[in-house]
Amino acid sequence: MGLTGLEIYKHLPKTNCKDCGSPTCLAFAMALASGKASLDACPHVTEEAKGALDSASAPPIKLVKVGTGDHVVELGEETEIFRHDKRFFHPTGVAVLISDSEDVAAKAEAFEALEFHRVGMHYVTDMVAVKCDSGDAGKFKAAVETVAGKTKKAMVLITEDPAIMEAGLGVVADRKPLIHAATAANFEKMVALAKANSCPLVVKGEGLDATAELVEKIVALDYKELVLDSGARETSKVLADLTQFRRLAVRKKFRPFGYPAIAFTAKEDPREEVVQAGTYLSKYADVLVLKASGKQQLLPLLSWRQNLYTDPQKPIAVEAKLYDIGAPTEESPVYVTTNFSLTYFIVEGEVESSRIPSRILSVDTGGISVLTAYADNKFSAETITAAIKKSGIEDKVKHRKLVLPGHVAVLKGALEEESGWEVVVGPREASGITKFSKENFA
């Protein structure tokens, strides 16, 4: 349990010197208790007090790293229960499961080839999990070796048998895989392996209380690179346990749950598995291990992850500039829209569908949509004219004809006057662009 502000205050120098940026030591203590300040900000705190305040100054959820080099996946260090309160920081590591009893090479190759491009974003799965289903250390070691040879991405090794885990680690310990799992029956040996190889370790309990007890035993062995697994595999139970991990860590600073958490999908039906995975991704899995490896399953999950881990206070924008669609000529049509990424990519998709080479002028509206930007005077005759001049389009087309979104047809007169271009009012919705384009420019 975290310390209260008054308990923290007792350990501070009480000089009110303001060097920490707070007006008083009490204000600093309150900020520390609520996770809004770091103990490092006070240069006068004694070593003795630092020890006593360790739990108050530590982040509610520890940062744990899996993998090495460019393929490190950072887990945890989250501070919020609800994204809109601030933001989530470290996207869930999505791991595709490979059993040592299947065609390991083929699945590893398919895994490595997984990548997606959507609305200007590039998505990849960032982890691969190798599971021992054979019960054979040699077979597991060979599977780990095969997977490690096909991909450099972060790995999870899954077996509760310390001897089999040791065989797998013998191949990839230098890549700092996540070890799954220490249980009540094997934790001393698993901790020894994790310590010897400096690898993060999953603590798998049977329920929340047992998980907390096991974490405390492992911390007493002086190992803290931990990830939590309550042992549940049924959707509602997993969701409840993940929620309790996050709530107790963030709200109560309950130290045994102050670590990232892992979840496994269990559904056999591919569509149900995606729904189950989406549930865990939303609340609050830091690592998600999937049996699914199809593009059609992973794309929605990775898209959802991308949305969830953006900063809700910052609109998603594309670069404000002139975009070529196809190979436009000096006669090609020119569309204008905002740099809100969703708007831009919808317009781009519709213009592409027309199969008429064109240009799209994306105006810097701070990443907000057409009507909002118009209401805020960011999509106006002046801003569009400035974008025309800056883009260099006047050197690229012979004509002076611009297609304006139908929702802001009211700008037509002012824009023609300001820019000297003829303004053609386009459809109100982007879905009408293809038809409009064929009717006007084919």
CB-nearer residue toward ligand SF4: 21 or 207: 21
Instruction: Kindly state the smallest distance separating residue 48's Cβ from ligand SF4, in Å.
Output: 15
CB-nearer residue toward ligand SF4: 15 or 55: 15
Q: Please write down the long-range contacts of 70-74, taking CB distance under 8 Å and 24 or more positions apart.
A: 70/152, 71/126, 71/152, 71/153, 71/154, 72/154, 73/126, 73/127, 73/154, 73/287
Length of the chain: 442
Question: Among 155, 226, 230, which residue's Cα sits nearest to residue 190?
Answer: 226
Residue 412 is encoded by which pair of tokens? 């037509």
Q: Find the part of the chain contacting ligand SF4 (CB under 6 A) among 12-20, 106-114, 195-203, 390-398.
A: 12-20
Binding mask 307-346 for ligand SF4 (x = CB under 6 A): ----------------------------------------
CB-nearer residue toward ligand SF4: 31 or 201: 31
36 is a site residue for ligand SF4 (CB under 6 A): no
CB-nearer residue toward ligand SF4: 28 or 280: 28
Asked if residues 133 and 100 have their Cβ atoms less than 8 Å apart, the reply is: yes
16 is a site residue for ligand SF4 (CB under 6 A): yes
Q: Find the part of the chain contacting ligand SF4 (CB under 6 A) among 11-19, 115-123, 186-194, 377-385.
A: 11-19
Mention every residue, 6+ apart, whose C-beta is less than 8 A from residue 183. 160, 190, 204, 205, 214
Distance CA 127, CA 270 (A): 20
Distance CA 169, CA 164 (A): 9
CB-nearer residue toward ligand SF4: 41 or 184: 41
22 is a site residue for ligand SF4 (CB under 6 A): yes
CB-nearer residue toward ligand SF4: 28 or 140: 28
Q: Kindly give the interhelix angle for 208-220 and 187-197, rounded to the nearest 10 degrees.
A: 50
- At residue 403, the 3 state secondary structure works out as strand
Strand ordering across the sheet containing 422-425:
322-325, 358-363, 334-338, 401-404, 422-425
6 is a site residue for ligand SF4 (CB under 6 A): no
State the DSSP string of 186-226. THHHHHHHHHHHT--EEEE-SSHHHHHHHHHHHHHTT---E
Q: Could you say which of 5, 7, 13, 326 contacts ligand SF4 (CB under 6 A)?
A: 13
Q: Could you say which of 3, 31, 42, 167 contacts ligand SF4 (CB under 6 A)?
A: 42
Distance CA 253, CA 158 (A): 29
32 is a site residue for ligand SF4 (CB under 6 A): no
31 is a site residue for ligand SF4 (CB under 6 A): no
Instruction: Kindly state the smallest distance separating residue 16's Cβ from ligand SF4, in Å.
Output: 5
CB-nearer residue toward ligand SF4: 14 or 438: 14
Q: Could you say which of 4, 6, 10, 18 contacts ligand SF4 (CB under 6 A)?
A: 18
Distance CA 174, CA 177 (A): 8
12 is a site residue for ligand SF4 (CB under 6 A): yes
20 is a site residue for ligand SF4 (CB under 6 A): yes
19 is a site residue for ligand SF4 (CB under 6 A): yes
Q: How many CB atoms sit inside 10 A of residue 376's CB? A: 12
Query: For tokens 């040996």, what's the residue?
Result: 189
Binding mask 43-62 for ligand SF4 (x = CB under 6 A): -x------------------
CB-nearer residue toward ligand SF4: 24 or 235: 24
Q: Could you say which of 28, 88, 245, 323 contacts ligand SF4 (CB under 6 A)?
A: 28
88 is a site residue for ligand SF4 (CB under 6 A): no
Q: What share of the chain is helix, strand, coil (3-state, %, to 5)?
A: 45, 20, 35
Instruction: Kindly state the smallest distance separating residue 30's Cβ from ligand SF4, in Å.
Output: 11
Instruction: Kindly state the smallest distance separating residue 176's Cβ from ligand SF4, in Å.
Output: 37
| Rg of the chain (C-alpha set) | 27
CB-nearer residue toward ligand SF4: 41 or 142: 41
25 is a site residue for ligand SF4 (CB under 6 A): yes
Q: How many CB atoms sit inside 10 A of residue 361's CB? A: 21
CB-nearer residue toward ligand SF4: 16 or 372: 16
Site residues for ligand SF4 per CB under 6 A: 12-13, 15-20, 22, 25, 28, 42, 44
